[in-house]
Structure 1
Amino acid sequence: MLVRKDSKVIAVDGSRMALFKNVGEAFAPVLELIEEHKNPSLRTSEIGTDKPGRTFQSKTPRRGTHELTDFQQQEEDRFSIEVAEKIDKIVSETKAGVVLVAAPRALGVIRKNLEADTSAKLLAEIPKAFGSGEAEALAKMLTKHEA
């Protein structure tokens, strides 16, 4: 995939977002970290301390439990929604183009919350998980990726 010079690359997973700028050439991207946002990750016991709900059937002595809410996933989804708002702003300010690389679940949440014109302006949406410290691996993946 060709990533023109000065294009932005946004890497997102459930708990962090990194914004890179291509300072290299289109065929050999060199990504430079511009900014990074992290979602402070609390333990599940700190987010929710309740026990799973129980049901009782009046005719039989059977008892059942309800599935416990996944508070970690809720926090990751909330963070992905915030990231979608930031992506809208970045895409509106950038003329060179933007590539979005995100973990598959985070990408799904982000897609739902992006504005329609933002989705159209993205050069590519790639469902892979990369973090902020993996600029070289991300650049290699971009050179091999076919859009």
Structure 2
Amino acid sequence: MMLPKGTVVAVADGEKINLFRNSGDEAGLKLVAIAHDTITADAGTSTGRQPSSANPDHGQAEEDQFSAGIVQFLNHQALGGKIEHVVIVAAPRALGEMRKHYHKALSAILLGEIAKDLTGHSLADVEKALIADR
């Protein structure tokens, strides 16, 4: 995947997120970690499933709400003009939940998505996944 300089790469799952910025150019990807505000679960998000004693799925509901919180953060960044381009790399389940909450402003700057869980992987692994997705 060719990423312009300054592209933000969000690497996430249902529990954590790492943000990177491409400090290289389209020909030479070079990701650097960037600081970000704490992401909180979007408690107002309806996941469509209600945990009960017969089906205790509290963990999945929390992960879905965290995924929605990630998108809420990215939507805010896109609407505020703080990011020009973004790529989302997320665990397949988290990515599916995240897609439900994209604002049109975020969709407009979204360069791509990779359905892969790389949150616990090295920066080199993230860069390899982005390069392989060309």
Instruction: State whether TM-score is above 0.5.
Output: yes
How far apart are 1:114 and its partner, in Å?
A: 1.3
Q: TM-score when scaled to structure 1? A: 0.73
Q: Deviations over 1:7-63 (max 9, x none)?
A: 1101111100111001123233111110265779xxxxxxxxxx93xxxxxxxxxxx
Distance 2:57 2:69 in 1: 19
Counterpart residue type for residue 144 of structure 1: A
Aligned to 1:31: 31
Counterpart residue type for residue 11 of structure 1: V
* Structure 1: stretches of 5+ with no match in the other structure: 41-50, 53-65
Distance 2:40 2:76 in 1: 19
Counterpart residue type for residue 9 of structure 2: V
Q: Identity, % of aligned pairs?
A: 32
Q: Output aligned runs, 1:52-71, within 5 Å.
A: 52=53, 66=54, 68-71=55-58
Contact 2:8 2:85 in 1 (8 A): yes
Distance 1:91 1:39 in 2: 18
Q: CA RMSD in A?
A: 2.3
Counterpart residue type for residue 82 of structure 1: G
SS of residue matched to 2:100: helix
Distance 2:92 2:83 in 1: 26
| Greater C-alpha radius of gyration | 1
Distance 2:24 2:97 in 1: 31
Aligned to 2:60: 73
Distance 1:30 1:138 in 2: 11
Q: TM-score when scaled to structure 2? A: 0.79
Aligned to 2:114: 126
Contact 1:97 1:122 in 2 (8 A): yes
Structure showing the higher strand proportion among its residues: 1
Count of aligned pairs between the two proteins: 122
Contact 1:33 1:132 in 2 (8 A): no
* Structure 2: stretches of 5+ with no match in the other structure: 42-51
